[in-house]
């Protein structure tokens, strides 16, 4: 662990926690993106569907930017946790 010799233990723990939170959020976001896309495609592919299926499908499509934002945050947490942990420690 020579890389962490000059980093206090609290920042090291925050870095690990931040990284695992990012991994978990990334997995959840990826599943939500896939589920939203597949469900919306299924709803819209049926010709004689109830009207609420169309509304539900477009609402699922509208949620995709939010899921993509969570995925981007989790990627940042995994790839650059040290910067965030250092900012938290100095505040």
Residue 91 lies in a domain: no
Helix boundaries (H) for the chain: 9-45, 51-79, 81-90
Asked if residue 23 belongs to a domain, the reply is no
Has residue 6 been placed in a domain?
no
Contacts for 43 with CB less than 8 Å, ≥ 6 apart:
49, 53, 54, 56, 57, 60
Residue 71 confidence (pLDDT) = 93
Please indicate, yes or no, if residue 52 is contained in any of the structural domains.
yes
pTM: 0.71
Tell me, what's the pLDDT at 38?
97
Residue 4 lies in a domain: no
pLDDT at 13 over 80: no
- Candidates 34, 31, 26; CA nearest to 79 is 26
The predicted-structure confidence for 18-51, as pLDDT tens digits, reads as follows 788 888 889 999 999 999 999 999 999 998 999 9
Contacts of 58 (CB under 8 A, 6+ apart): 40
The total domain count for the chain is 1
pLDDT at 22: 85
Q: Is 39 inside any structural domain?
A: yes
Q: What is the pLDDT of residue 88?
A: 55
Domain, as residue range, for 49: 31-80
Residue 91: the pLDDT is 55
């Amino acid at each position: 662990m020579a890389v962490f010799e000059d980093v206090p233990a609290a920042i090291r723990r925050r870095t690990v926690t931040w990284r695992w939170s990012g991994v978990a959020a990334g997995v959840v976001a990826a599943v939500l993106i896939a589920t939203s896309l597949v469900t919306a495609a299924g709803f819209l592919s049926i010709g004689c569907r109830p009207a609420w299926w169309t509304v539900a499908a477009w609402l699922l499509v509208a949620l995709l930017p939010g899921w993509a934002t969570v995925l981007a945050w989790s990627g940042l947490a995994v790839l650059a946790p040290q910067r965030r942990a250092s900012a938290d420690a100095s505040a």
